[in-house]
Structure 1
Amino acid sequence: MLQMKDQLQNFLRCSIGNGNRALFWHDYWTDLGPLYLMFGPAGPRALRIPIDATVSQAVSNGNWNLPPARSENAVTLHIVLSTISVPVSSDVEDAYAWRNRSGGFAASFSSKTTWERIRIASPPVLWHSVVWFKEEVPCCSFISWTAFLRRLPTRDRLISWGLNVPPGCVLCSAADESISHLFFGCPYAVAIWSRFCGRYMAVPPASLSDVVVLCRQLQGPHARAVIVLKLINQAIIYSLWRERNARIFQGVSSTHQAFFRVVDRRLRDRLLSLSLPSVTAPSPSLLELFFCFLDPYS
């Protein structure tokens, strides 16, 4: 509760009108901040003002109705209140203002601005644009994001939590399952990646960082090809994760060829749904660039 009040102190201010809405103890309506934080739990008893009272309830006969000051905090409050107009019933309603982008306060609330001020910003990771981009497929982006964070519950991770599960990769049974092995080191995964080793990708990537490096290398005149590469990366990771789960939980598996057809169909459907290039600046469509990724000898 105190943490929530601290947040309000930083982001919310109240301008007193008739005092019927503003809470005497909890709202930031004086320069002292929320008075409950200043006086503590004993404040309502010391000032004889209920904990849920509004500012107007601290007024009687046109004057602030407070007992004589018996502490330094009470003296300070008396001084501050002497500079504030006593609210009367004929005044306008109390108004609340939220901190804005410039650091001041405005009547409208912005969740984006508030979030930017609450969060602890960290340096952008190099792979953020490989996961989040305009042409992404949300379900594939989510699994890719979780993979980059190394939060997918692969068997090595489950074992590190103390679970009794077999460590072997269900796709190849040749090594222990991990993020790097499942998506790039497993022969099953390598065979799928190899199907896309055409003009823009000479060899299958060995890790997620290799995909990031390749995307950075394809900038400039090949910028549109980067979009296709990002989609290929996400489609393969997403489909491999589904294949892995299907084998574990459903006992069904796909051959390399059947798996490739699923990835190929998913990519073509997505690329066909994207807007075509401008007629005034003709360039290969994303689907045409996709064909450049396909291995001509597969």
Structure 2
Amino acid sequence: MLLHSFSVYKWPSSLLRSLSRCARNFIWSGDVTSKKLVTVSWRQICAPKNEGGLGLRDLSSLNTTALLKLGWLIITADSPWSIYLRERFKLHGRLYSCSYKRSSIWPGIKSILHILFQNCRWVIGNGSTTSLWVDKWLDKPIVDVVGATEIAPSLSRTKVSNIIRMGKWIIPSIFSSTFPDLTNEILEMPLPIDEDNDVLIWEVSTSGVFSFSDGYEIVRHRFPVKSWASIIWRPFIPPRYSILVWKILFNKLPTEDQLQRRGIPMAPICQLCYKNSESIDHLFSSCEFAQCAWRWLATQFGTSIPLTSSLSNLWLDFLSKRFSPHLRNVWLASGFFLLMAIWKMRNKVKFEGKPPSFSRLCRSTSAWIRQVGALTPGHVRGILDRQLLVSLGISPNSSKAPSIVPVLWHPLLFLGSK
């Protein structure tokens, strides 16, 4: 019953906001009533992963998409209920009235009609269904091209079939002289051999039929594609590590400076060095403890990292290392683990009073490297990378030998040849 209501009614925006708030609170705190102070915006969370989101769906956009699907079925299906609603609401192409109608579902349908008709297009058959001036059967409706704000009722009832004779375009001279560009566009459009009925298609779909996923892509909020998105979401990296890096990239970890900025009185001191204010850049990059950790990790892989006060610069240098695919994946997973280990150690100091232990961090990271090395894909190129993986306690993945298929060919024998 709930899904049916969601699919035929436009839900109040206050209800959708309340449900989204509960979902947001549950994701960040595990409790629908508990709100966290430092969070990524819900709209960003509902973006696809390649745009920096978590791939969730926004309830408001889902409701709009469900109404789009209902509207599509009403104007295209031949079932008794769709024919009834089409006549009930007088939905014949773009010529529809937004006036009040005594129907509980009409407000929802009315709210999406402009989106629906903007993304639909008529494919001309015999032209008897499509309005010449109002419907979209060219790149744009003719009434929009000529810039008319109003159109006479007699013209609005003119069909495309009025300019078709015997399977050919017959353009009135007054139209062709007034709108030469439109005339050329019409004449370049081929007409079908058989005079079939006009067909309404969904333009953004390759099949021409509305799909829920295509509809959602139209109504959802879009963000720029993030270059780092393909890096943090890897199948061999545990999601909680990817989520931590995702929060770091958005600067949404509850560090001392973030909490102070939101009105919590505190001295934002770093919990690992007690020398500087705690921020994401300091905690993971310029803190003495973090720099020792990055320096140690680099030596395990036989390389070095220029240590700076900016985490973004450190991360760029980290990703720029050129290893063979298997070793590069292990290197990437190790960096994710080190960020998580630093964050966990900071929390143990802050909430449990345990002093930071560099040796414990090194042992846990070494164990993680051995564990993740058996799960990471890719192959090894070069003797140095192979020896490095062995020194880390990882069995190298050898590249598959090429499969050579023998081709047995004999010259063709033709009759009469010697």
* Pairwise TM-score range, normalised by the shorter structure: 0.5 to 0.7
Matched with 1:17 is 78
Q: CA deviation at 1:9?
A: 6.7
Map of 1:287-298 to 2, 5 A cutoff? Answer: 288=389, 291=392
Stretch of structure 1 that moved more, 184-193 or 259-268: 259-268
- Equivalent-residue separation in structure 2 for 1:10 and 1:130 (angstroms): 35
Matched with 1:147 is 248
Residues 272, 16 of structure 1: CA spacing in aligned structure 2 closer, same or farther, 3 A cutoff? Answer: closer
- Equivalent-residue separation in structure 1 for 2:296 and 2:90 (angstroms): 63
Q: CA deviation at 1:246?
A: 1.8
Residues 243, 52 of structure 1: CA spacing in aligned structure 2 closer, same or farther, 3 A cutoff? Answer: same
Q: CA deviation at 1:202?
A: 4.2
Residues 106, 169 of structure 1: CA spacing in aligned structure 2 closer, same or farther, 3 A cutoff? Answer: same
Partner secondary structure for residue 135 of structure 1: coil
Q: CA RMSD in A?
A: 4.2
Q: CA deviation at 1:183?
A: 0.6
Stretch of structure 1 that moved more, 227-236 or 268-277: 268-277
Partner secondary structure for residue 72 of structure 2: strand
Q: Percent identity?
A: 18
The answer (yes or no) to whether the contact 1:155–1:166 under 8 Å persists in 2 is yes
Q: CA deviation at 1:173?
A: 0.8
Find out whether 1:161 has 2:222 as its counterpart. Answer: no
Matched with 1:181 is 282
- For structure 1, list consecutive stretches of 5 or more residues without a partner in the other structure: 45-49, 54-71, 81-96, 293-298
- Equivalent-residue separation in structure 1 for 2:90 and 2:340 (angstroms): 49
Partner secondary structure for residue 156 of structure 1: helix
1:223-276 per-position Cα deviation (integer Å, ceiling 9, x unaligned): 544323321221111111111122222222341101221222223211223357
- Equivalent-residue separation in structure 2 for 1:154 and 1:250 (angstroms): 16
Residues 115, 282 of structure 1: CA spacing in aligned structure 2 closer, same or farther, 3 A cutoff? Answer: farther
Matched with 1:43 is 101
Map of 1:27-38 to 2, 5 A cutoff? Answer: 30-32=92-94, 38=97
- Equivalent-residue separation in structure 2 for 1:28 and 1:161 (angstroms): 53
- Equivalent-residue separation in structure 2 for 1:175 and 1:160 (angstroms): 16
Matched with 1:271 is 373
The answer (yes or no) to whether the contact 2:270–2:278 under 8 Å persists in 1 is yes
The one-letter code of the counterpart of 2:246 is W
Partner secondary structure for residue 142 of structure 1: helix
Q: CA deviation at 1:152?
A: 0.7
- Equivalent-residue separation in structure 2 for 1:216 and 1:243 (angstroms): 24
Q: CA deviation at 1:178?
A: 0.2
Find out whether 1:227 has 2:227 as its counterpart. Answer: no
- Equivalent-residue separation in structure 1 for 2:353 and 2:318 (angstroms): 36
Matched with 1:214 is 317
- Equivalent-residue separation in structure 2 for 1:132 and 1:27 (angstroms): 47
Partner secondary structure for residue 373 of structure 2: helix
- For structure 2, list consecutive stretches of 5 or more residues without a partner in the other structure: 1-9, 12-59, 107-149, 159-199, 394-418
The answer (yes or no) to whether the contact 2:329–2:378 under 8 Å persists in 1 is no
Find out whether 1:106 has 2:218 as its counterpart. Answer: no
The answer (yes or no) to whether the contact 2:241–2:340 under 8 Å persists in 1 is yes
Stretch of structure 1 that moved more, 132-141 or 116-125: 116-125
Matched with 2:344 is 242
Higher relative CO (Cα under 8 Å, sequence separation at least 6) belongs to 1
Q: CA deviation at 1:22?
A: 7.1
Q: CA deviation at 1:163?
A: 0.9
Q: CA deviation at 1:39?
A: 2.2
Match of 2:225 among 121, 124, 129: 124
- Tell me the TM-score normalised to structure 2 length: 0.48
- Equivalent-residue separation in structure 2 for 1:195 and 1:145 (angstroms): 24
- Equivalent-residue separation in structure 2 for 1:286 and 1:51 (angstroms): 71
